[in-house]
A and B are shown apart, each in its own frame.
Chain A
Amino acid sequence: MASIDIAPGAGTGAHPPGPIQRVTLLASLGWFAAVAILLFWQDLTFQPLVRELALVWGAVGGVLVVLGLGGNRLGRVGRWTAQRAPWLLAIGIGAAIWTVLTAKTGILPQPFFPTPQAMLEVFIYDWPKILHSTSFSVWLLAKGFFFGAVAGFLIGVGMGWSRAVSYWATPLLRYVGPLPATAWLPLAFFIFPSSGSASVFLIAFSTAFPVAVLTWSGIASVNRDYYEIARTLGASPLFLILRVAVPAALPHVFVGLFMGLSTSFAVLVVAEMLGVEAGLGWYLQWAQGWAAYANMYAALFVMAAMCSGLITLLFRIRDRVLVWQKGVVRW
């Protein structure tokens, strides 16, 4: 088992406990190189905010110098940089290459591939709109995901526990569940009073299906002995559901939640593009209408951050709730 363990920092130039992190210093050189290219290589066409961008990248390089020199003495921060130094270097070099390919040589044609300066411009001048769109999207997603997760969980528990519920719900789930939630979109926008509530429904729908199926299979696969032991110890049926069946099924439930969250992203973006007049999906659409390519990339960038942030959050919650699984299974 130890042989397949990936040691933290393996292949990342993890340092013996010397004070200076050489890779981190190298990363700062990468960023300074990007700054040099930005400032001393003539742009093909006029670019805004060259100095400001140079300042930002220079600051990153400066921080990396400090971190590299402080190195392992910085405790947690030091360990963090030590582990990610190769990535920090790669991103710096990436920034330099991006600048060369777009602003300096035009190998990637404008305006389809915006320059880094143009991206900075978007964030500086359009951040209120982006921020508002992001918070709108997160809120919409949160509502839909919450209702969908709760509904799916209850359906799954009901199906796993009661024959009657299972009898009626299984065919429905089999028949309707696999339908992509987006197929409901035209109808939902008619039936619901507002496009917002329609989107909440669609997101909830797409989340509920995998959560229900996995909760159900989780409860169905609980070891029978757990129930018998609990019953001899005086457990009531409610206790058996809440304290035996549900905790035993939780690892499955979380798999369902992960699947539900991933599909709900797709539904969210489509719903925002087609009906809701706000959110990152709508912002993307709007930017496309104006052929504002830099804004589209910015929206994609923020959207990726949002999705991965939410997935990470769900991972954190799972790690909290399922501590007992550590050591039972390999994470």
Chain B
Amino acid sequence: MEERKLTCIVCPMGCQLNISLEDGKISSISGNRCNRGSVYAHEECTAPKRMLTTTVRVIDGFHPFVPVKSDKPIPKEYLFKCMNLIRAIKVKAPVKSGDILIQDICGTGVNIMAARTIPRAEKQEVS
């Protein structure tokens, strides 16, 4: 049997959940003040997912980087793999908010999309 401690983040109470697991399955939960805490615990113990936000390098842009986000939460164990992939790519300006920059990243079915518009760099003024 395995014991896990989690903090429920469904509401501001932040209950400390004590969870007992048997063969990866939850056998008991305590510390939750309501049922939403146990739903959260089940999700966290079986298939935890997180949104990923980071940046992608932009060539010839108003800024050298564009912020990006996953269009759905990514399984937690894929976060660092996805980061390595995202760090390796470059896109050319202009980039539009909502543009998909990487499709189906690491086979997760999740897309990485631009989270703002980056216009082309303004041409240097000739004086």
Do A and B originate from a single complex?
no
Measured CB to CB, the residues of B under 8 A from A are: none
Measured CB to CB, the residues of A under 8 A from B are: none
